[in-house]
């Protein structure tokens, strides 16, 4: 099979396509013939050895895939050859086949095509658990989304609208903001065009209830300042590469709640509820992921660079059919 391989840490250009044997399955694992994979920002970080954890090279990058099970093993009850599934892991997805524990697989609902399933994974799950269980978004909340053109940000715009929030989308280009408006954002701010604090005062004169921040850097503080008393600021990641330092007096004076999102911190009962609600959003078509580009596996470097540069709008996919 063909696989993208990271032979040594570095920029996306280090990744190359190699011929490899099909992966063997251990007990509890299934082998999946991959039809599509999503490119996520952490894939770029893992290849550069800038992620929270390190994977020793050589390794096959790619953390999210959809495909069909072609082999099962002992301890994979509930899954069978021919099942259409979606899965996540730290690495291994940018290949024609991947062997993974079935615990990390989810059946794809009927009527949902492979690309939609691939694009609806990590980004939408991150955004939805953040909005529901960290920010506790309510109908009528003023929600401010940084990085609103990116994978997590655009998902937060769409899902925030579904939860009844009034969404202010912040991004670096008109193109990104136009897409956010198409998904229901009420106000948009291009943060490259002036002072973000002033722009937020104009867009949300009554103040914001929630900020979702997947960018960090110099945008975080003005966004936090836009919050009303008791507002919730959820940090999801630092795509800008800069971890902001927030003066705590801002938190104290308004009694703000500053939270960090990690999947494992969502209480199990809420996790199950959120996943079921997400599934309904996907199956009903109420939420439709935006895919800005699809690359063949042979162009994996271009796909990674697309995401690494912050240019992606919504999701970038790899087609392995």
Residues that bind ligand NAP (CB under 6 A): 40-42, 122-123, 126, 147, 149-153, 171-172, 176, 214-215, 236-241, 261-263, 307, 310, 312
In the complex with ligand NAP, which residue's Cβ is closer, 67 or 314? 314
The minimum distance between CB 278 and ligand NAP, in angstroms, equals 14
In the complex with ligand NAP, which residue's Cβ is closer, 4 or 148? 148
3-state secondary structure (DSSP) of residue 163 = coil
In the complex with ligand NAP, which residue's Cβ is closer, 36 or 99? 36
What are the distances in angstroms from CA 54 to CA 43, 87, 91, 149?
Answer: 11, 20, 11, 28
In the complex with ligand NAP, which residue's Cβ is closer, 25 or 38? 38
CA-based torsion, 278, 284, 286, 290: positive or negative: positive
For the range 279-287, what are the long-range contacts, defined as Cβ-Cβ under 8 Å and sequence gap of 24 or more?
Answer: 279/109, 281/124, 281/128, 281/159, 281/162, 282/109, 282/112, 282/116, 282/117, 282/120, 282/124, 283/109, 283/111, 283/112, 286/162, 287/120, 287/124, 287/158, 287/159, 287/162
The minimum distance between CB 277 and ligand NAP, in angstroms, equals 18
The minimum distance between CB 124 and ligand NAP, in angstroms, equals 10
Q: Which residue is nearest to ligand NAP (CB)?
A: 150
In the complex with ligand NAP, which residue's Cβ is closer, 241 or 296? 241
**What distance in Å separates the CA atoms of residue 64 and residue 110, rounded to the nearest whole number?**
19
Distance of CA 216 to the CA centre of its chain: 15
In the complex with ligand NAP, which residue's Cβ is closer, 42 or 61? 42
Phi, psi of 261 (to 5 degrees): -95, 125
The minimum distance between CB 271 and ligand NAP, in angstroms, equals 13
The minimum distance between CB 260 and ligand NAP, in angstroms, equals 7
The minimum distance between CB 306 and ligand NAP, in angstroms, equals 9
288: left (phi over 0), alpha (psi -120 to 50) or beta: beta
The minimum distance between CB 134 and ligand NAP, in angstroms, equals 10
In the complex with ligand NAP, which residue's Cβ is closer, 254 or 288? 288
Whether the bond between 57 and the residue before it is cis, its omega within 30 degrees of 0, is no
């Amino acid at each position: 099979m063909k696989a993208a391989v990271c032979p040594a840490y570095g920029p996306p250009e280090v990744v190359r396509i190699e011929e490899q044997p099909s992966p063997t399955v251990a007990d509890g694992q299934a082998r999946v013939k991959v039809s599509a994979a999503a490119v996520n920002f952490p894939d770029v970080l893992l290849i550069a050895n800038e992620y929270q954890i390190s994977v020793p090279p050589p390794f096959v990058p790619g953390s999210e895939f959809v495909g069909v099970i072609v082999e099962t093993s002992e301890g994979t009850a509930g899954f069978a050859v021919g099942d259409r599934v979606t899965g996540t892991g730290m690495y291994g997805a940018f290949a024609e086949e991947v062997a993974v524990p079935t615990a990390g697989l989810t059946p794809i609902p009927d009527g949902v095509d492979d690309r939609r399933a691939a694009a609806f994974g990590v980004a939408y799950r991150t955004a939805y658990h953040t909005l529901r269980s960290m920010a506790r978004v309510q109908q009528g909340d003023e929600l401010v989304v940084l990085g609103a053109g990116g994978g997590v940000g655009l998902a937060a715009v769409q899902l925030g609208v579904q939860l009844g929030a009034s969404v202010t989308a912040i991004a670096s280009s008109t193109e990104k903001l136009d897409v956010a408006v198409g998904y229901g954002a009420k106000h948009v701010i291009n943060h490259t065009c002036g002072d973000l604090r002033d722009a937020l005062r104009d867009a949300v004169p009554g103040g914001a209830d929630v900020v979702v921040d997947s960018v960090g850097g110099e945008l975080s503080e003005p966004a936090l300042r836009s919050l009303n008393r008791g507002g919730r600021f959820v940090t999801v990641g630092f795509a800008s590469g800069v971890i902001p330092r927030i003066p705590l007096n801002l938190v104290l004076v308004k009694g703000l709640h500053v939270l960090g999102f990690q999947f494992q911190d969502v209480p199990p009962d809420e996790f199950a509820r959120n996943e079921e609600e997400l599934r309904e959003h996907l199956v009903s078509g109420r939420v439709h992921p935006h895919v800005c580009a699809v690359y063949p596996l042979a162009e994996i470097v271009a796909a990674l660079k697309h995401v690494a540069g912050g240019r992606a709008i919504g999701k970038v996919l790899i087609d392995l059919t």
